[in-house]
Amino acid sequence: MDRRSFLRAGSAGALAAVAGCLGGLETQSTRAPPLVEDRPDAVYYPTHLEGMEMVGMAESGDYAFGLMYSYPHRFWNINGSSGSMTPIGSDDDVHLMSAVWDPETGMILPDTGLTVEIYQGESLVSQEAIYPMLSQPMGFHYGANFGLDGDGDYRVVLSVGAMSTRRTGGFADRFGEPTTAEIPFTYSQSARDELMYRTLDNAGDPGAVEPMAMEMIPDSLAPSEDELPGTVRGAP
């Protein structure tokens, strides 16, 4: 099954195969160090960190979209309790990432079946249904590696389907219709290669890097205890 068919298979499949966009867990550019040897069966510091560039934002229908890019990444596909690594392809130029959220509440939205089309002029360069992903610095988002036709101006068309997730309260009658947004994207390899890249001396140690400040995109973090309603009974 290809990515487009998989992500349209429904929320159960989507939740069972959240990909690990390890741009902070385990990322890879052309300079990526080897994987941590004897990786612990726990959360651990990555081999390196990479920066990202904000491309732009758009709103359409009930949805807001943000588009970012970084170096091509290796990442893990998680299916149930098993995982497999997706390496960088020889033609991959960027790791394109998108966040989708409710502009009224700032709630990051899962299970949108997000599809990306990249055009240069009127020519279609690439088209993918991209993975739901988790990373230590970014939290939940969507992402995949893409090849481009060199430096230049592109336009990225982001499309979501009707969400199949059960929605209640103020969300009950929303996010039921598909919509499309378009964001222009100017790419140059030299600009990509200027993104931050830093190796970590404590790779493999238990722990995690701090979440990055997403100034224009809502955080996909759980609220603090002080912000939760009701009474907090304990913390794991």
DSSP letters, 80-105, are: TTEEEEEPPPTT--EEEEEEEE-TTT
> What's the gap between Cα 37 and its chain centre?
25
**pLDDT > 90: what percent of the chain?**
58
Question: Residue 130 has what DSSP assignment?
Answer: P
Question: Residue 73 has what DSSP assignment?
Answer: -
Mean pLDDT by 10 residues, the chain (236 residues): 38 40 43 81 90 96 96 88 88 96 93 96 94 91 96 98 91 94 97 93 93 86 82 80
pTM of the entire structure?
Answer: 0.82
What pLDDT, on a 0 to 100 scale, did the predictor assign at position 230?
87
Tens-place pLDDT, residues 175-222: 999 999 999 999 999 999 999 999 999 999 999 999 888 888 998 887
Mean pLDDT of the chain: 85
- CATH numbers and ranges of domains, the chain: 3-214 (2.60.40.2480)
What pLDDT, on a 0 to 100 scale, did the predictor assign at position 8?
37
CA 117/CA 204 separation, integer angstroms: 36
What pLDDT, on a 0 to 100 scale, did the predictor assign at position 19?
52
> What's the gap between Cα 109 and its chain centre?
12
> What's the gap between Cα 217 and its chain centre?
12
What pLDDT, on a 0 to 100 scale, did the predictor assign at position 38?
85
| Cα Rg of the chain, angstroms | 18
* CB neighbour list of residue 210: distance below 8 Å, 6 or more residues apart: 137
